[in-house]
Structures are given as structure tokens and as C-alpha cells.
Structure 1
Amino acid sequence: MVRLIGILVGLFFTGWLLVTFAVGAYSAATEPALPTVEHEFHKHPKALHLASDGPFGKFDIEQLQRGYKVYKEVCSACHSLRHVAFRDLQQLGYSEAQVKAEAAAWQVPGVDPVTGEANTRPGVATDYFPKPFANDIAARAANNNAIPPDLSLMTKARHDGAAYVYSLLTGYQEQPAELLKQFPDAKTPDGLHYNPYFANLNLAMAPPLSDGQVTFDDGSPNNLDAMAKDVSAFLVWTAEPTLAKRHQTGWPVVIFLIILTGLAYLAYRNVWRNVKH
């Protein structure tokens, strides 16, 4: 008797759960979702065309060098490149001597060989780009309680990649009056900055770039739009430095496979031509 009662109780709760699930699913399918400020005012990234786009894309070395300079003079104050070593800069057209000099201009964590205590030292080519902050606590203290993300793989980690980075850098603006009229409680909090290309519209990072902030040796344009494109292209390279080589290798392989497939089909026809089905 006890077992029967237990079975009936179990069936009751199972049926109740199924009914609840069915009602919830029906409501979700038939009732319109309530509008949210993110849904109404979040924008998709702007269009961005880089030399590395597409199956035949390759890097614009001069643009990558400009993007690196933007990173070094602006972005490196808050963001790390922990997956990139100084020696990798040779792929951007820098000589070995230039790479060594560039590495030596950075201070990286080290250990005193005499005392064994932690210290800093000039970088060498085999070192990776250092973190701008000693730890997460220091990072939060300097950035309105937000930890700046590492940028090494940013264009791989975010949907739309380089276009997202470019849009974010050029997308800072005042909150639209329509937004505040429709959502009075959605005013950007103090210390945050409105950007419609960011997921929740408000982010701790202040606008990092401004016209004329970085001067390029080749006299290239250094307005906000141009610098945002250059550093976005650079971050495509940091995320996938072998992209151009992969394209160069991939197409011969594809052509070879197509030819091999054709030869295999002709061989098949030749071997089985006298065999009746």
C-alpha cells in the first residue's frame, strides 16, 4: 500500500511539472517579450573592411605597425597582450635589432639573481608583453572596479571580431533623449560611459582614442576613425598571426584535392569501364 501511494504521489508531481512546463512554453511562445533598453538601443557593429578579410586576405604590414603603435601608446596602459611575445613583432616587418630595442623599452617581471626577490627588468625578445597591473585588485582600483580584458584574442572572442572593436572605439556618445524618455531609469550611472555597441550599453572604459592622440612616422591619418581601424587590424593579427600563411597554404591544398579527385574519378571510370552492372 505504501509503495502504491508513493507511486501515485510521484505521478502527481511529475504530471504537475509537465503541466507547468507546457503552460510556461505556451506563454513564452504566444506572449510578446517586454521591451528592454538593451534590445531597443543596442546596435550591431559597423561595417569594417580590412586587407585581411576574405579567403584571399593578407595583412597590410604598414597598418599593423600603426596599430601596434596605437596599442603601445594608448591601449597598453590598461590592456595586456599575454599571448604575444616581443619576438613576434618580426612578423610586422621589424628587424631583429628593432625587436630587441622595442623589448628593452618595456619593463617585465623578473627575479633578482642575488636576493631572489621579485623585481622588474628590461624585456628581451623572448618575453611576452607584460600586464599593466600587478594583480586584479590593482586593475579594479584603477578602472572603476572593472578588470580590463586581455586583447590578444579579442577579435576571436567577440562576435564580428574587428568590426566590434572598431565600432566600440568609435561608438561613444551621449545617451539618446528617446532612450531616457522611454526608459527613465536607464540613465548611465556615474563613472560609466554610454556606448550602443557594448552589450549592456554602459561600460567602465572611458573613450580611449581622440583625434591626433598618436603621431605616425609615415604621416598617415591619425584621426579617431583611422586609429580605430589600425588597432583593430593589429588585434586581428594578434589573434591569428598565421592567417596570411594559412591562406597561402590552403589554396594550393584545395586545388590539389580538386585535381586529385578528378584523377581518382577518371581512374575509377577506366578500371570499371568494362564491368557491367
Structure 2
Amino acid sequence: MARILSILVGLFFTLSLAYTFAVGAYTAATEPEAPTAEHEFHLAPKHVSFASDGPFGKFDRQQLQRGFQVYQQVCSACHSLRHVAFRDLEQLGYNDAEVKAIAAQFTVPKYDTATGEVASNPGMATDYFPPVAYGGQGSPPDLSLIAKARHGGGAYVYSLLTGYQDQPAELLKHFPDSKTPDGLYYNPYFANLNLAMPAPLVDDAVTYSDGTRATLDQEAKDVSAFLIWASEPTMDKRKQTGWPILGFLLFATILGYMSYRNIWANKKH
């Protein structure tokens, strides 16, 4: 009797869960989703092209150096780049002396195994970019993998940097409770439309060493290209290696097929 009762109780709970799931699935499928400001006004990344795009794309070293200059002079005050080593900058076209000079501008914490203390010393080429001691609220994201971590990659970064604007009147008309709070900034390319970072770039925020005019659009594109490189410094090498391998595999496939036809040509009935 107890066994029958336990089976009935289990069956009751199973049917209840199945009914609840079916009702929820039906409701989700038939009832329209309530409109939200984020859903209505969030924009997909702008269309922007980079020299590294596509299977044959290659990094533009001059652009990467300009992008690093923007990062160094503007972004590094708040955002770290902890997965990139100073010596990686040689791939941008800097020589050993220049890399050492760049590294020395940063203070890198180092653990002394003898004393157990942490000392701060000038960076060396073998060190990684140190974490940033940010004094404001929140924790700005590390940028070394941002182009991989965000949908749209470099286009997302570019769109965010160039997307700051006033809230549209239409948004406030339909969603009066969505007014950007004090201390936040409206940007339709950010997921919830408002972020704590003020617009970091303006025209002539930096003075490019190669003489390029530092417009906001140019700065945003250059630093986006640099962050694409930072997220995958070996991209050029991967592409250069990949095509010969694909060619070899194609040749081996054709050779194997021809061998198969030759060996089995007289053995089929």
C-alpha cells in the first residue's frame, strides 16, 4: 500500500511539473514580449572595416602603433591590458630599445621570494602590463581580450567609442522611466544604454607621431584595431601558416583519391 501511495504522489508531482512547464512554454510562445527601452533602442555595432579582416587580412603596423598610443595616453588610466607582455609590442614594429623604454614607464609589482614582500619596480620587456589601480566606483574591464569577449569585436569597440549622444526624445516619450541617471552616460551601443564611462575620446585627444590627423573617428578606429591585435597577437602568423596547411591537405586529398582509383581500378566487378 505504501509503495502504491508513493508512486501516486510521485506521479502527481510529475504531472504538476509537466503541466506547469507546458503552460509556461505556451505563454512564452503566444504572448508578445513586453517592449523595453533596451530592446527598442539598443543598436547593433556599426559597419567598419579593419586591415586584419578576412582570411587574407593583415595588421597595419602603423595603425597599431597609433592605436597603442591612444591606449597608452587615454585608456591606460583606467583599463589594464594584463594578458599582453611588453615584448609583444615588437610585433607592432617597435625595436628592443623602444620596448624597454615603454616598459620602464610602467610600475610593475614583483614578489620577492627571499623576503616575501612585494616591491614595485620599473617594468621590463618580459613583464606583462600591470593592473590599474582605479580609484573610482566599479571596476573598468581589462581590455586585452575585449575584442574577443564582445559580440562584434573591434566594430563593437569602435561603435561604443563613437556612439555617445543625448537620449532621443522618442525614448523618453515612450519610456519616461528610462532617463539616464546622474553620473551615467547614454550610449545606444551599450547593452543597457547607460554606462559609467564618459566619452574618452575627442578630436585631437592625442598627437600622432606619424602626423595623422587625430579625429575622434580616427582615434576610435586605431585603438579598436590595436585591441583586435591585443586579443590575438598571433593572427597574422596563424593566417600565414593556415594557407600552406590547407594547400597541403587539399593536395594530399587529391593524391589519395588518385591512388585509390589507381589501386582499385581493376578490382571492381
TM-score, length-normalised on structure 2?
0.96
5+ residue gaps, structure 2 = none
Provide the rounded CA distance (Å) in 2 between the counterparts of 1:270 and 1:92: 51
1:217 aligns with 2:217: no
Percent identical residues: 67
Aligned length: 269
Distance 1:54 1:146 in 2: 36
Whichever residue aligns with residue 241 of structure 1, its letter is P
Query: Residue type matched to 1:72 in 2?
Result: Q
1:9 shift after superposition = 2.0
Query: Which residue does 2:143 correspond to in 1?
Result: 151
Q: For residues 127-180 of structure 1, give each alpha carbon's deviation from its aligned partner in whole angstroms, at most 9, with x where no partner exists.
A: 1111121xxxxx3x41xx321010011101111100000000000111111101
Is 1:60 the counterpart of 2:52 in the alignment?
Answer: no
Q: Choose from 164, 172, 196 the match for 1:172.
A: 164
Per the normalisation by structure 1, the TM-score is 0.93
Match of 2:124 in 1: 124
Inter-CA distance 119–178: structure 2 relative to 1 (3 Å threshold): same
Deviation at 1:203, TM superposition (A): 0.7
- Aligned-pair CA distance for 1:115: 7.1
User: Residues 10, 115 of structure 1: CA spacing in aligned structure 2 closer, same or farther, 3 A cutoff?
Assistant: closer
Residue 97 of structure 2 corresponds to: 97
Gaps of 5+ in 1: 134-138
Report the equivalent of 1:136. none
Equivalence for 2:192: 200
Match in the other structure for 2:81: 81
RMSD over aligned CA atoms reads 1.5
- 1:249-264 matches, cutoff 5 A: 249-264=241-256
**Residues of 2 paired with 1:206 and 1:263: CA distance?**
60
1:263, 1:112 → 2: CA distance? 59
Shift of 1:4: 2.1
- Give the Å deviation of 1:104: 1.1
Cα distance, 1:243 vs. partner? 0.4
One-letter identity of the residue aligned with 1:83? H
Q: Structure 1 CA distance, aligned partners of 2:234 and 2:5?
A: 67
The corresponding residue for 1:267 is 259
Distance in structure 2 (CA, Å) of the matches to 1:119 and 1:255: 52
1:181 matched to 2:173? yes
The alpha carbon displacement at 1:12 in A equals 1.5
Q: Which residue of 1 aligns with 2:23?
A: 23
- 2:34 maps to 34
Which secondary structure does the structure 2 equivalent of 1:110 belong to?
strand
Letter in 2 for 1:159: H
SS at match of 1:82: coil
Moved more, 66-75 or 214-223: 214-223
Deviation at 1:263, TM superposition (A): 1.0
Mapped partners of 1:78, 1:233: distance in 2: 19
Q: How far does residue 116 in structure 1 lie from its aligned partner after superposition?
A: 6.0
The structural deviation recorded for 1:219 is: 0.9
Tell me, in whole angstroms, the C-alpha distance in 1 between the residues paired with 2:33 and 2:230: 40
| Correspondence for 2:13 | 13
Q: Separation in 2 of the partners of 1:256 and 1:209? A: 47
* SS at structure 2 position matched to 1:53: coil
User: How far is 1:112 from its partner?
Assistant: 7.5
Q: Alpha carbons of 1:258 and 1:111: their partners in 2 closer, same or farther (altered >3 Å)?
A: closer
- Which AA in structure 2 matches 1:217? S
> Per the alignment, do residues 21 and 98 of structure 1 end up closer, same or farther by CA in structure 2, a change over 3 Å counting?
same
